[in-house]
């Protein structure tokens, strides 16, 4: 029995040390990760509303969004939405113009299955943007349905999740 207690204490010590190291690494890298996420969101906003010279952060009804402005006039809005796909969450950035038409959608993060749901972000050879997300451009975000876009074969749940998240955000 003494031997089991000894091994148990050794294992507990190893687990404690690993937890301390993991905690330290998290605290050191957290600001860098958050800065990277902010930079990625800024890049997505600029891609979605290229006519905007600046973005002003606003909030309404407890939801944050960015108003894209040029020469003091609003040219569109960008906001983040989270959806739940087949394999986990999807975090998207959506841009809409002042008439409520979708300017574009960008995937910031996802946990979808590689080769299936992950195809939401797939860029075909010779193209510069994701073919699936291109289907959203120009659509009325308030009335968006799965039938309005070409769903990904074998990944209907993911396609439906993106549509639902975009529509809910708009």
Residue spans of alpha helices (H) in the chain: 2-48, 131-134, 156-169
34 in any annotated domain:
no
pLDDT of residue 118: 75
Tens digit of pLDDT for each residue in 35-64? 988 899 999 999 999 988 999 999 888 889
| pLDDT means over runs of 10, the chain (170 residues) | 86 94 92 89 91 90 89 91 86 90 89 76 81 85 78 78 84
Number of domain units in the chain:
1
Supply the range of the domain harboring residue 75: 44-169
Starting at the edge strand found earlier in the chain, the sheet holding 63-70 runs 54-60, 63-70, 73-84, 89-97, 102-110
1 in any annotated domain:
no
25 in any annotated domain:
no
Question: How many Cα neighbours within 13 Å face the side chain of 118?
Answer: 5
39 in any annotated domain:
no
62 in any annotated domain:
yes
71 in any annotated domain:
yes
32 in any annotated domain:
no
33 in any annotated domain:
no
């Amino acid at each position: 029995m003494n031997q089991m207690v000894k091994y148990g204490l050794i294992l507990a010590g190893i687990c404690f040390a690993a937890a301390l190291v993991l905690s330290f690494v998290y605290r050191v890298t957290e600001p860098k990760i958050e800065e990277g996420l902010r930079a990625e969101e800024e890049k997505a906003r600029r891609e979605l509303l290229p006519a905007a010279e600046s973005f002003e952060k606003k909030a309404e009804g407890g939801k944050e969004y960015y108003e894209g402005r040029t020469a003091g006039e609003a040219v569109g809005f960008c906001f983040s939405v989270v959806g739940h796909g087949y394999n986990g969450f999807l975090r998207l950035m959506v841009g809409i113009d002042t008439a409520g038409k979708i300017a574009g959608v960008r995937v910031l993060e996802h946990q979808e299955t590689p080769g299936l749901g992950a195809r939401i972000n797939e860029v075909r050879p010779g193209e510069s943007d994701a073919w699936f997300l291109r289907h959203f451009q120009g659509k009325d975000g308030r009335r968006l349905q799965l039938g309005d876009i070409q769903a990904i074969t074998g990944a209907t749940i993911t396609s439906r999740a993106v549509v639902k998240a975009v529509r809910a955000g708009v």
